[in-house]
Amino acid sequence: PETPGLNNMVFFLASLAGRDEIVKALIARGAHVNAVNQNGCTPLHYAASKNKQEIAIMLLENGADPDATDHFESTPLHRAAAKGNLKMVQILLQHNASVNIRDSEGNTPLHLACDEERVEEAKLLVSHGASIHIENKEELTPLKVAKGGLGAILKRMVEG
């Protein structure tokens, strides 16, 4: 992956700020959609985290890797699930983001959605094949991390 020069810094800032027209122009001029910054983040990580849906779609349609990992091995889907960005989770899943990929703590996007009580995001992840049985490094499954009745809802979805 390429490290950011001035053009890439503009690309990251435009992605973070949701400046669609700037991102579009930079892509047209050959900006690297999978460029990484000092934290290992790609522009898609920022778009997913800040719920910049149009930018995420633009990046993905121009070759951004939906499974790119940062220094914590988090993907854009981890970020969207944790933040409760339902539409972003949908966009990433439509672009074949890996639903059971683990971060450096062993958490899947479903672990993070459950931990943050993101009910709709968790249900969407499970409906796209997220496992309720994967343990993180603390030996906790998403069901054990889930709060309130979310664990029971997800278990019913999987087991019927």
At 51-103, the pLDDT tens digits run: 999 999 999 999 999 999 999 999 999 999 999 999 999 999 999 999 999 99
Which pTM value belongs to this model? 0.91
Whether 127 shows a pLDDT value over 90: the answer reads yes
Q: Of all helices (H) and strands (E), which one includes residue 27?
A: helix 20-28
Question: Structural domain boundaries of the chain?
Answer: 1-65, 73-160
73-160 sits in which CATH class? mainly alpha
Q: Right CATH number for 1-65 from 1.25.40.20, 3.40.50.300, 1.20.120.140, 3.50.50.60?
A: 1.25.40.20
Residue 56 half-sphere exposure toward CB, CA atoms < 13 A = 26
Phi, psi angles (nearest 5°) of residue 93: -65, -40
Indicate whether 13 pLDDT > 90.
Answer: no
| pLDDT at residue 99, rounded to an integer | 98
